[in-house]
Amino acid sequence: MNTPESDFITVRGVRLHVRRWGNPTAPTLFMLHGWMDVAASFQFVVDALGGDWQVIAPDARGFGLSDWPVAERGGGSYWFQEYLSDLDALLDHYAPSGEVNLVGHSMGANVVCLYAGVRPERVRRVVDLEGFGLAAAHPGQSPKRLRGWLDELREPPQLKHYASLDEVAARLTRTNPRLAPSRARYLAGHWSMPDGEGRFMLQADPAHKLRSPLLYRLDEIMAVWANVRARVLHVEAAGSPTLAQIAGEVSLDEFKARFSAFPDWREKIIEDAGHMVHHDQPEQVAALIEAFCA
């Protein structure tokens, strides 16, 4: 197993934890994890890389070893745009000039796809692992969304605590039956931490469970995607349950028509995998990343 180094970079008063694997002089892959996940999630893909790469993966604000800024402000929501600004600052730190290769899973994939349209001159390649965006919203949903947000602020969500790391690992394998026990145990040690009372809690700010009061405006998202200059590789699990859930009653072809906004987009389907494609088939994912970003 490749052993990472840890950096702590302060961005606008928030200390972000960053994992770095590999040779600092090698070509770099920046990897962004998904919602309720941590940077250590990419360990299996890093181990499967055959070439000489440096991999840089931050714990997003409020996850892993990064700060929980919302807790310091006394509650509230995390704004999605903050993930873009954190990425912008980290790229300024690690790669202040030139183009970069961005890899993202789920939420992280949505971040890198948007960033590539906001700073098109900075991005060379984008690998999108199971990043779909959300179901298109309409203005009539706004009153209910705002009311729900206010209600949740009155009774903020909480995260479950676990009796042991084995129980955390069991929780991971229940969510993803394809996950090998050894990988589940590894992830449990990074996905959770002692709660000070003899149990374990997730390394995630419960405020992430608050649903944003802002609607997902697909037309605005597609306008950003249309500005991307980089080649984009979309990697999807065959029969993706996440895609089916987000699409709802909309046909998959109709839902995925949104990707036509990207000027240069292609797709790879991975068999025998679920939403956590980088856990289920890390060798295939690593090979796709290397071939695309070489």
In the predicted model, what is the mean pLDDT of residues 15-38?
Answer: 97
CA distance 41 to 110: 17
- Is residue 196 situated within a structural domain? no
Query: How many structural domains is the chain composed of?
Result: 1
Predicted pLDDT at 77: 67
- Is residue 92 situated within a structural domain? yes
Minimal CA–CA distance to 103: which of 80, 133, 132, 126? 126
pTM: 0.95
- Is residue 146 situated within a structural domain? no
Task: Render pLDDT for 108-120 as a digit per residue (tens, 0 to 9).
Answer: 999 999 999 999 9
User: Which ranges of the chain would DSSP assign to H, the alpha helix?
Assistant: 43-48, 69-72, 80-94, 107-118, 142-154, 165-175, 181-191, 218-225, 241-247, 252-256, 277-280, 282-293
Whether residue 73 has pLDDT greater than 50 = no
Q: With cut-offs at 50, 70 and 90, classify the pLDDT of residue 74.
A: very low
Predicted pLDDT at 157: 87
- Is residue 126 situated within a structural domain? yes
Torsion-angle region of 69 (φ positive above 0: left; ψ -120 to 50: alpha; else: beta)? alpha
Q: With cut-offs at 50, 70 and 90, classify the pLDDT of residue 18.
A: very high
Averaged pLDDT score across all residues of the chain: 95
Task: Render pLDDT for 173-216 as a digit per residue (tens, 0 to 9).
Answer: 999 999 999 999 999 999 999 999 999 999 999 999 988 899 99
Burial of 208 (0-12, 13-18, 19+ CB in 10 A): buried
- Is residue 150 situated within a structural domain? no
Q: With cut-offs at 50, 70 and 90, classify the pLDDT of residue 9.
A: very high
Task: Render pLDDT for 223-275 as a digit per residue (tens, 0 to 9).
Answer: 999 999 999 999 999 999 999 999 999 999 999 999 999 999 999 999 999 99
- Is residue 262 situated within a structural domain? yes
For residue 234, report the phi and psi dihedrals to the nearest 5 degrees. -95, 120
CATH number at residue 74: 3.40.50.1820
Start-to-end CA span in the chain (Å): 22
- Is residue 168 situated within a structural domain? no
In the predicted model, what is the mean pLDDT of residues 89-117?
Answer: 98
Asked which of 58-72, 163-177, 190-204 is least confident by mean pLDDT, the reply is 58-72
Predicted pLDDT at 69: 83
Whether residue 72 has pLDDT greater than 60 = no
Predicted pLDDT at 70: 64
Please give the share of the chain, as a percent, with pLDDT higher than 90. Answer: 91
Whether residue 159 has pLDDT greater than 50 = yes
- Is residue 151 situated within a structural domain? no
- Residue 44's domain comprises 5-138+217-293
